[in-house]
Amino acid sequence: MSIEIDFAERLKALPPYLFVEIDKAKRKAREEGRDIIDLGIGDPDTGTPAHIIEALYQAAKDPVNHRYALDAGLPQLRRAIAEWFENRFQVKLDPDTEVYPCIGSKEGLAHLPLGVVNPKDKVIIPEPCYPGYRASTIFAGGKPQFIPLMAKNGFLPDLKKIEKIKDAKFMFINYPNNPTAATATKEFYQQLVQIARDKGIIIASDLAYSEVYFDGEKPMSIFEIEGAKEVAIEFHSFSKTYNMTGWRLAWACGNSKLVATLGKVKSNVDSGIFQAIQVAGISALKTSDDQLNRMRFMYQERRDALINGMRSIGWKIPASKATFYVWAKIPKQFKDSMETSQVFLEKANIVATPGVGFGPSGEGYIRMTITAPKERINQAVERLGKVL
C-alpha cells in the first residue's frame, strides 16, 4: 500500500508553469494531425553553428572531459568569457573571482536567491516577467514585491515605487525584456544602481538577450554604470546568441561576493558542466561578428514580416527593439489574453503565449516569437487575417 504524498507548501504556492501548459496544448493539437505554427516558446530554430558542434565533437572524444567537471568551470572558459565581456562592454572582469559558468542562466537565476534571500525577505519583481523569477523567490522563502511594467513608462519599472518599498533585499531586472521586448536606457541603470546602493538592494540583471537586437542599437550591461559591481550580478546566456538552448550553458558575473555565493550554492547541488560543452562554449565566444550580424538580420526580417503583416490586417503592433519577441495588445474582439491564445490555436492553428501568464500586468497582451521561418510567419499572418 502506497503512502499519501503531499506537495511541499513552496510547491503549492507556484502557479502551473506557463510553457509546460502551452506545450501540452501544442502536442495535443499535433497529435490530432493539425499543421501548427509555433509562435509560443522562444527557441531558436536554425541550429547551432557548425564550428561550435565541431568543437564539442572533438572535446567529447577526449577522456579528460569525461570526468567530473570543476564547479567553477574551466579556467580557459572563464578567461574567454572575461575577454568577450571586455570586447563587448568595455568592462573588465576578473575571471577567477567575478565569473562563474552556469548550467543555463535559468539555473543560475534559480539558485542565487537560495544564497542571499532569507525567509520573508522582500524581493522586487517587475512584471510581466519570466516566470522563473517568482518561482526562485518562493523556493528561497522570499516575499515577492511586484512592480507593474506599463507601456506608458516604456515597460520600465517605476523607480519611485521601488524607493518606497522598505527593507527590500533583492531585485530582478531583465533588459532586453522578456516578454515585452523593451530595452533600458543608461539613465535608468544609473538611477537604479544609485537606489540599490542607497537602500542596500542586490540586483540580479538577466541579460540573456544582449546580442539579439535590431537597428544597430546595442543593449548595455549594468556594469557599464559606475558603482554597479558593488550591488549587482549579471547573467548571460549562450542559448539565444549561439542557438544553444538545449546545451545549457551560461555564466554569472559581477560582484565577487555574489559570484562566490552562487558558487557555494551550486557546489552543493550540482557537479559542474560537462567539460566538452565548456570547450564548445569557448568556440562559441569566438563566433565572428559577420555570423552574428546575419543572425540579427534574419530575426529583423522576421520581425518586420510579422509586424507589417499584422498591421496590414488592422492590428497595430509596435516594432520590437530587441529579443525575438513581439508584445502586442490583444485585438478588441477578445475579452482577455487566454481567450485570444485559445482562439489562435483552435481557429488558426497558431501557438501564441497569453500575456497574463507572465503576471497580472500582462493581461490584455499576447506574446509571439519570431523563431520560425519567414514563410511560416507569413502563413500565420494569412491565417490570422481570417480570424481577426
Taking the model in full, what pTM does it have? 0.95
Query: What SS3 state is found at 243?
Result: coil
- Who's near 69: CB < 8 A, 6+ residues apart? 271, 272, 273, 274, 275, 278
Q: Is the dihedral of CA 189, 193, 199, 200 positive or negative?
A: positive
The predicted pLDDT at position 24 comes to 83
Q: What are the structural domains of the chain?
A: 9-47+290-387 (3.90.1150.10), 50-285 (3.40.640.10)
The secondary structure of residue 213, as a DSSP letter, is: B
The predicted pLDDT at position 1 comes to 66
With beta carbons less than 8 A apart as the criterion, state whether 159 and 191 touch: yes
What is the spatial distance between Cα 190 and Cα 326, in angstroms, rounded to a whole number? 27
Ordered per-residue pLDDT tens for the chain, 388 residues: 678 888 898 888 887 776 777 778 888 888 999 999 999 988 999 999 999 999 999 999 999 999 999 889 999 999 999 999 999 999 999 999 999 999 999 999 999 999 999 999 999 999 999 999 999 999 999 999 999 999 999 999 999 999 999 999 999 999 999 999 999 999 999 999 999 999 999 999 999 999 999 988 899 999 999 999 999 999 999 999 999 999 999 999 999 999 999 999 999 999 999 999 999 999 999 999 999 999 999 999 999 999 999 999 999 898 999 999 999 999 999 999 999 999 999 999 999 999 999 999 999 999 999 999 999 999 999 999 998 8
- Who's near 132: CB < 8 A, 6+ residues apart? 106, 109, 110
The secondary structure of residue 362, as a DSSP letter, is: G
Query: What SS3 state is found at 200?
Result: coil
What is the spatial distance between Cα 125 and Cα 239, in angstroms, rounded to a whole number? 23
pLDDT tens digits, one per residue of 203-213: 999 999 999 99
What is the spatial distance between Cα 249 and Cα 314, in angstroms, rounded to a whole number? 41
- DSSP string of 92-116, one letter each residue: ---TTTSEEEESSHHHHHHHHHHHH
The predicted pLDDT at position 26 comes to 83
The predicted pLDDT at position 321 comes to 94
